Amino acid sequence: MSVHRSGTARLRRFGVAGILLTAFSLLFTLPSAAATVPARGSAYMGMGIVEHDGQGGTPAGADATQTEGVDVASYQGNVAWSTLWSSGVKWAYTKATEGTYYTNPYFAQQYNGSYNVGMIRGGYHFATPDTTSGAVQANYFVDHGGGWSRDGKTLPGALDIEWNPYGASCYGLSASAMVNWIADFLNTYKARTGRDAVIYTATSWWTECTGNYGGFAANNPLWIARYASDPGTLPAGWSYYTMWQYTSSGPTVGDHDKFNGALDRVQALANG
């Protein structure tokens, strides 16, 4: 009997040890969702581009004149605007808001700093369609830096609508619900400012999350995101892009952009 009990005890010990080893193995091998989800408010233009679309190449020579620009957010801190101006950057967009819970603490330095060195500037809103309505977010954006004035140096606000860094890529919305959310934002922004907002997006996200809807192309300028030698296939409806974010690894500030035209075209968009 004692031999039997001793053998049984050994088997139990081995069983417990195996369970513990398996548990420790899972602890160190399973990814931690909490560790990979960024803090609310930390999103910025193109945050998901490299992960979803990849990165490579530099812009090929364009047939039309292009004007260099940058886009910035709080993670870039105080921006060296004079250095960027000297390098040929003539326009800039600054993140103003996200959802209805975040304003960029560096907005004044970034938005006013670009203006003060001579750049044409604008603000952008990082959309979170799963938190509040498009109208509510458009109003929040206008009230916290996303407005427009006819001073010849202020661009219309931009709606940054792309992969959700905090959860499901399409924010849990169907394609039709996403289109309705975007329309709600755009209509409210125009009612508040008199301007049609710029839409910043990536073709792959737009196709997946709006069903490649083409109904905004007639009024809203397209800012396409693609880190490659050309902007690639554009979303439905747009036959050309107005702006193109072509890299996240530019000098001084990583996110660099091309405006599809000479400086007088940038000024024309600013003037409405």
String of DSSP letters for 222-253: EEEE--SSS--SPPTT-SS-SEEEEES--SSS
Residue-averaged pLDDT of the chain:
87
Nearest residue to 137 via CA among 192, 200, 58, 94: 192
Phi-psi region of 17 (alpha: psi -120 to 50; beta: other; left: phi over 0): alpha
> Does 36 fall in a domain?
no
Tokens standing for 190? 């125009």
Predicted model pTM: 0.83
Residue 37 lies in a domain: no
Rounded Cα distance between 222 and 205, Å, is: 14
Token pair for 89: 């950057």
Q: Which of 98, 160, 196, 255 is catalytic?
A: 160
User: Do 156 and 25 share a structural domain?
Assistant: no
Q: How far is CA 156 from CA 31, 42, 202, in A?
A: 41, 23, 19
pLDDT tier for residue 58 given thresholds of 50, 70 and 90: low
Span 50-75, average pLDDT: 75
Phi, psi torsion values for 205, nearest 5 degrees: -65, -45
pLDDT in tens, 99-113: 999 999 999 999 999
Q: How confident is the model at residue 54 (pLDDT cuts 50, 70, 90)?
A: low
Domain for residue 44, yes or no? no
Task: Flag the least confident range among 27-41, 94-108, 198-212.
Answer: 27-41
* Residue 198, in any domain of the structure: yes
Whether residue 1 has pLDDT greater than 60: no
Please give the pLDDT value at position 21: 42
Amino acid identity of residue 204, one-letter, is: S
User: Tokens in use for 260?
Assistant: 């599809």
Helical residues (DSSP H) of 132-242, grouped into ranges: 134-141, 175-193, 203-210
Of 169 and 57, the one with more pLDDT = 169
Tens digit of pLDDT for each residue in 131-142? Answer: 999 999 999 999
d(CA 158, CA 44): 12
pLDDT of residue 217: 98
The answer to whether residue 138 sits within a structural domain is yes
Q: Number of structural domains, the chain?
A: 2
Do 252 and 145 share a structural domain? yes
71 is catalytic: yes
Q: Structural domain of residue 222, as residue ranges?
A: 49-271
One of 53, 71, 196, 257 is an active-site residue; which one?
71
Provide the token pair at 113: 């700093």
Please give the DSSP secondary-structure letter assigned to residue 257: E
Average pLDDT for 103-131: 98
For residues 197-221, average pLDDT = 98
Check whether 2 has a pLDDT greater than 50.
no
Using a 10 angstrom Cβ sphere, with 0-12 exposed, 13-18 middle and 19 or more buried, the burial of residue 143 is middle
Residue 43 backbone dihedrals phi, psi, to 5 degrees = -70, 155
In a domain, 179, yes or no: yes
The answer, yes or no, to whether residue 5 has pLDDT greater than 50, is no
- Whether 63 is a known active-site residue: answer no
**Residues 120 and 62 occupy one common structural domain:** yes
Which of 98, 162, 196, 255 is the catalytic position?
Answer: 162
Residue 10 shares a structural domain with residue 103: no
Is residue 75 situated within a structural domain? yes
Q: How far apart are CA 104 and CA 120, in angstroms?
A: 19
pLDDT digits (tens, 9 = 90+) for 148-191: 999 999 999 999 999 999 999 999 999 999 999 999 999 999 99
Cα–Cα distance for residue pair 16/36, rounded to 1 Å: 32
Residue 253 inside a domain? The answer is yes
162 is annotated as an active-site residue = yes
